[in-house]
Amino acid sequence: MAGSSSAAPSNSEARSPAAPGALLSATDVARVVDRMAHQLIEKCARGGGEGDNTADLSHLVLVGIPTRGAPLARRLAARVEAFSGTPVDVGTVDITLYRDDLRMRGVRALEPTVLPAAGIDGRLVVLVDDVLFSGRSVRAALDALRDLGRPRAVQLAVLVDRGHRELPIRADYVGKNVPTSRSQSVKVRLAEIDGADEVLVTEGEAT
Amino acid sequence: MKRHLLEAADLDRDDATLVLDTAKEIESALAGREVKKLPTLRGRTVVNLFFEDSTRTRISFELAAKRLSADVINFSAKGSSVSKGESLKDTALTLEAMGSDAIVVRHSASGAPHRLAHWVRGSVVNAGDGTHEHPTQALLDAYTIRQRLGRLEGVRVTIVGDVLHSRVARSNVRLLHTLGAEVTLVAPPTLLPVGVESWPVTVGYDLDAALPKADVVMMLRVQAERMNASFFPSAREYSRRYGLDAVRMAALADEAIVMHPGPMNRGMEIAAEVADSVRSTIVEQVGNGVSVRMAVLYLLLGGAPQ
């Protein structure tokens, strides 16, 4: 009896390999964003298609999904520009009005949708979000993009992929894969909104 | 936000600001788009229940609902079972049984939307009831003022004309007060309602004295159909004392704007040259009406039922 109670803490740790606390620190976030920026440049160097070897970033548009995808997209764009010397267009697309779970949640305030002046027609749009979970936000974003124009291709970049997909959606650029249980929640905090960079995994209801 | 929008007092300052902000985002999200349609209310049904003729308000609500992909049913009392003697309650229950999620109601009796709200499970939006209220008109007016002047707090709004019969005036007074504007009413004493002294407004009878102090002049329509008593001696006299013509407009401050809920009686309460001047926001008000009504429908119907 005594043995089992003393073993309890290590058991609970074994159940949640991503122990409560910071999964990524501010330094980690910066490093991950840098790596994703490099990957973006590499992929674009192949033109996003077969047999195309020109590094053409003029076609690239980074579109953040509010709330935290928006500053992430701006950071990625700044890093891509720093590494490649070419400025990259950034936008945001609010997906609230496209969500399929509006009936299940309360209404929420809308955030701005801002696209670069050149639009998205014929360009490579990379959607940027903080956490990839069920995939429903991404589907809503794809629906929103369809109303906004016709990109040549759409890719997806996420800071954290936590699994539990409910739709056939996969990210092209992943900052960190985090196997989680549904009972856990993943919180991304960014300096622009929350005052500090951090990714936390906590026990609690799934978001 | 409450489940219904029956009067301006249903909105506190946060709610009203949320509606205006939402309308702004919706407007900018749809600006310059080829596909002016959002899937937000797909599968929801909005009934426009109009017991009183009002083409512009009905079309505005219809367009708002359609742009959010809701199914829209237009029900006008004329030629319906109402003319055969069906009551408001039975009409409402029939519509509810057919699965309506929201009823937008216009009625000549003040308070009809309140009654309706007791009988149905869905949301009720007041689109004008008698001489009582017209809250979405007040919201679109507030939206227009904020768009033109950049703020509502401390804005001096002068509402001129038939306040007695005007639901637009009633809703505007309450909403603008909630949002921090200072409202002045200018009207012939016969066209001011009993109890106006308890409203959060300043009352005056002299338009010329009020104009130089106004940031916004809101002209009310002279409702010929309600002029069943001698409220003023003649149309000509009314026009001379309370009509806004080019000479009076010149007394306004440089930034001041002129509003009118429409439909206008050109030459009566407002001169044609004023209605067509750059100060006039009359056409913008119509366009803003659609964005504001989209915001209201989204906020009432978009979320989970409480």
Indicate the average pLDDT of chain A. Answer: 85
Please give the share of chain A, as a percent, with pLDDT higher than 70. 83
- The CA distance from A106 to the nearest CA of chain B, in Å, is 4
Distance, CA of A103 to CA of B136 (rounded, Å): 23
Here the tokens at position A201 are 């995994």
Phi, then psi, of B48 in degrees rounded to 5 = -95, 105
pLDDT, position B32: 79
pLDDT, position A27: 95
Distance, CA of B306 to CA of B302 (rounded, Å): 12
B300 pLDDT higher than 80: yes
pLDDT, position B135: 98
**Which DSSP category does B222 fall into?**
-
Q: How far is CA A149 from the centre of its chain?
A: 21
B239 pLDDT higher than 80: yes
Confidence of residue B84 (pLDDT cuts 50, 70, 90): confident
The mean per-residue pLDDT over the stretch B257-281 comes to: 95
**Which DSSP category does B131 fall into?**
T
- The CA distance from A71 to the nearest CA of chain B, in Å, is 19
Closest CB to B33: pick one of A108, A109, A147: A147
Least-confidence region, from A37-46, A171-180, A190-199, B263-272: A37-46
Confidence of residue A24 (pLDDT cuts 50, 70, 90): very high
Closest CB to A110: pick one of B1, B22, B303: B22
The mean per-residue pLDDT over the stretch A168-192 comes to: 95
Please give the share of chain A, as a percent, with pLDDT higher than 90. 65
pLDDT, position B305: 59
Q: Where are the alpha helices (DSSP H) in chain B?
A: 13-30, 55-67, 88-97, 112-119, 135-149, 167-178, 207-210, 235-242, 246-249, 272-275, 282-301
pLDDT, position A9: 41
Instruction: For residue B35, list chain A residues with Cβ-Cβ distance below 8 A.
Output: 147
B75 pLDDT higher than 70: yes
Q: How far is CA B81 from the centre of its chain?
A: 28
The mean per-residue pLDDT over the stretch B67-92 comes to: 85
Contact A109 B1 (CB under 8 A): no
Instruction: For residue A143, list chain B residues with Cβ-Cβ distance below 8 A.
Output: 39
Closest CB to B26: pick one of A106, A110, A143: A110
- Name, in order, each residue with C-beta under 8 angstroms of A90's C-beta and a sequence gap of 6 or more: A61, A62, A63, A64, A73, A74, A77, A116
**Which DSSP category does B280 fall into?**
B
Least-confidence region, from B71-80, B97-106, B280-289: B71-80
A168 pLDDT higher than 80: yes
Confidence of residue A2 (pLDDT cuts 50, 70, 90): very low
Domains, chain B:
4-133+286-302 (3.40.50.1370), 135-281 (3.40.50.1370)
pLDDT, position A46: 59
Tell me which of B210 and B226 has the higher pLDDT: B210
Distance, CA of A156 to CA of A127 (rounded, Å): 5
ipTM of the shown complex: 0.71
In tens, the pLDDT along B143-199 reads: 999 999 999 999 999 999 999 999 999 999 999 999 999 999 999 999 999 999 999
What are the CA-CA distances from residue A114 to residues A111, A117, A200 (Å)? 10, 9, 29
pLDDT, position A45: 66
Q: How far is CA B284 from the centre of its chain?
A: 14
Confidence of residue A17 (pLDDT cuts 50, 70, 90): very low
Q: Which residue has the tokens 């709610």?
A: B15
Indicate the average pLDDT of chain B. Answer: 93
Tell me which of A57 and A29 has the higher pLDDT: A29
A52 pLDDT higher than 70: no
Task: Give yes or no for a contact between B144 and B259, defined as CB atoms under 8 angstroms apart.
Answer: yes
